């Protein structure tokens, strides 16, 4: 008898974790196994939703898959076997749509999509998902009333499939290009004048136009729609609350018909030339983070299902943004110090390479300074490492308060910090570093109710100094580090740069 695969789980994930993850996915996740002789089949893994949806016990399916095949509508069952065998022969993804009998006895349309993998013993294992497409089937049936409607639906599904594929395969850092393509495609498909995405600030005080597509001849509004105060638009503020609490779509059929309390909104939309608009909330991790919308600059009749179609687009956009945020979180975890939140050495070195390259091409000036908290070991030894952590975080606050957003502030290691000051001269960096040292002196250092005296030493170097050796990140850091140790040897609480030792 052919061997059967063990129940598989993603490496590194506990069964409980994967079960929770699967429970959050609409539909049923599964692996389906078919023996080499096609005589036995089962589901090595199937998520628990199969019981909630179809009344089939997952454990029973792990032994034999027949129970699922029995819930297929008789009219849809004829081609399922051949479609599976075709996937076995070609190793092409298995896709199938059929009505399945729900737990309550009614039938609903489901779509299965899975990817096959040949096993060493000749059997085949598919990885995939059943998901409910009842809504799409009902919509499809409604659109069959006319050839034009059917063509529209087919075109929309093709568009969503293409956009879905692009989002699935997008590379890290390409999310903006994909969103721009989505807006262009949706705008052209629905023949609107403008399509856009807005993001809310965390406190819902402002909204910012992050992405925009405009039809030919339609002016862009993006530059004027940055950090727009929501308090100025009371009616719109109410709509945002409805988006957040009820996922409500905002539909303005005619801006001239807005209620009296929306006077500011009407004036702005008329100024922008907007006659009608749809806005759909965009959720990330369950929270409304902004909205996706389309504008028409002239009166038009909208499809009755326009809101539903835009919700599908918004869902696609939400999924892509959620994935991108997860990737950004993972990236930040790898390039940021977990204690201070500053960039770490993994980020610093390639960033220094970029700054050096810009300096070599355009002559951009920059300097870097390495800081070390004086007698930090004494703080750890006398007050404990938690107290030391508080000092590190407080010093981080001082650095961030006295540097610019264009500067690169990083924790280099231990109690050492490195700041790259862009666009500065030797004299500028001396002033900037001394200002930081003075701020450290003047800070009230209370740790667990105990007053501390905290000072820092620093070594600084400018790229213009490296005339006798190649300017590399390593060479710059080595010189700053050497000067830092000179500052330590010189009594601490001082700066050493090209001009020598300086004190406040």
Q: Decide yes or no: CATH 3.30.390.30 for domain 15-132.
A: no
pTM here?
0.45
Reported as a pLDDT band with limits 50, 70 and 90, residue 24 is low
Q: Where are the beta strands (DSSP E) in 123-259?
A: 124-132, 194-200, 206-214, 228-229, 250-252
Where exactly does CATH 3.30.450.40 map onto the chain? 140-332
Q: First CA to last CA across the chain, in angstroms?
A: 84
Tens-digit pLDDT profile for residues 278-315: 999 988 877 888 999 999 999 888 988 898 999 898 88
pLDDT at 333: 76
Q: Which CATH number fits domain 140-332: 3.30.450.40, 1.10.10.410, 3.90.700.10, 3.30.390.30?
A: 3.30.450.40
Flag the least confident range among 33-37, 98-102, 263-267, 332-336: 332-336
Q: Given a cut of 70, is residue 12 above it in pLDDT?
A: no
Intervals of CATH 3.30.70.270 along the chain = 345-502
DSSP-derived secondary structure for 377-418: HHHHHHH-HHHHHHHHHHHHHHHHHTS-TTSEEEEEETTEEE
φ, ψ for residue 215, nearest 5 deg: -65, 155
306-335 helix and 147-168 helix, angle to the nearest 10 degrees: 0
- Asked if 310 and 277 touch (Cβ cutoff 8 Å), the reply is no
Residues of each domain in the chain carrying CATH 3.30.450.20: 15-132
Beta carbons of 418 and 368 less than 8 angstroms apart: yes
3-state secondary structure of 418: strand
Q: State how far the alpha carbon of 116 is from the alpha carbons of 48, 64, 128, in Å.
A: 22, 18, 9
Q: Which CATH class is domain 345-502?
A: alpha beta
∠ CA 404-409-415, rounded to 5°: 135
Question: How many angstroms separate the CA atoms of 147 and 418, rounded?
Answer: 66
| Strand 456-462, strand 495-497: pairing | parallel
């Amino acid at each position: 008898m052919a061997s059967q695969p063990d129940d598989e789980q993603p490496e590194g994930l506990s069964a409980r974790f994967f079960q929770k993850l699967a429970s959050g996915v609409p539909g049923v996740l599964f692996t389906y196994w078919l023996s080499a002789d096609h005589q036995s089949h089962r589901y090595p893994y199937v998520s628990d939703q199969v019981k909630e949806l179809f009344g089939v016990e997952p454990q029973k399916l792990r032994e034999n898959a027949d129970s699922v095949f029995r819930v297929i509508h008789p009219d849809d069952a004829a081609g399922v076997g051949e479609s599976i065998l075709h996937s076995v022969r070609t190793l092409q993804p298995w896709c199938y749509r059929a009505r399945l009998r729900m737990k309550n006895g009614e039938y609903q349309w489901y779509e299965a999509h899975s990817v096959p993998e040949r096993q060493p013993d000749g059997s085949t294992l598919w990885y995939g998902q059943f998901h409910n497409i009842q809504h799409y089937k009902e919509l499809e049936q409604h659109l069959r009333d006319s050839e034009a409607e059917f063509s529209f639906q087919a075109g929309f599904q093709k568009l969503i499939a293409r956009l879905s594929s692009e989002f699935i395969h997008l590379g890290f850092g390409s999310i903006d290009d994909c969103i721009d393509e989505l807006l262009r495609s949706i705008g052209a498909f629905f023949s609107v004048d403008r399509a856009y995405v807005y993001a809310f600030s965390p406190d819902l005080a402002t909204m910012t136009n992050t992405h925009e597509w405009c039809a030919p001849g339609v002016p862009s509004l993006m530059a004027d729609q940055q950090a727009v105060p929501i308090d100025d638009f009371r009616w719109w503020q109410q709509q945002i609350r409805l988006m957040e609490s009820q996922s409500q779509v905002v539909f303005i059929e005619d801006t001239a018909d807005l209620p009296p309390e929306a006077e500011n909104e009407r004036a702005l939309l008329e100024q922008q030339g907007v006659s009608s608009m749809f806005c759909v909330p965009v959720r990330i991790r369950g929270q409304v983070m902004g909205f996706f919308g389309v504008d028409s600059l002239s009166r038009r009749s909208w499809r009755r299902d326009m809101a539903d179609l835009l919700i599908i687009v918004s869902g696609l956009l939400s999924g892509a943004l959620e994935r991108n945020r997860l990737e950004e979180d993972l990236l930040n975890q790898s390039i940021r110090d977990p204690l201070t939140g500053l960039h770490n050495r993994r980020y610093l070195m390639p960033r220094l390479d970029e700054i050096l390259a810009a300096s070599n091409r355009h002559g951009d000036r920059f300097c870097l300074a390495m800081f070390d908290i004086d007698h930090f070991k004494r703080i750890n030894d006398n007050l404990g490492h938690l107290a030391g952590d508080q000092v590190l975080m407080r010093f981080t606050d001082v650095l961030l308060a006295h540097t610019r957003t264009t500067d690169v502030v990083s924790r280099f290691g231990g109690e050492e910090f490195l700041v790259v000051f862009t666009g500065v001269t030797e004299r500028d960096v001396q002033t900037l570093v001394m200002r930081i040292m003075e701020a450290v002196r003047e800070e009230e250092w209370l740790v667990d109710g105990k007053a501390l005296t905290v000072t820092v030493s620093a070594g600084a170097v400018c790229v213009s100094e490296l005339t006798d050796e190649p300017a590399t990140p390593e060479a710059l850091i080595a010189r700053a580090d050497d000067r830092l140790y000179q500052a330590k040897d010189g009594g601490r609480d001082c700066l050493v740069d090209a001009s020598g030792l300086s004190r406040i």
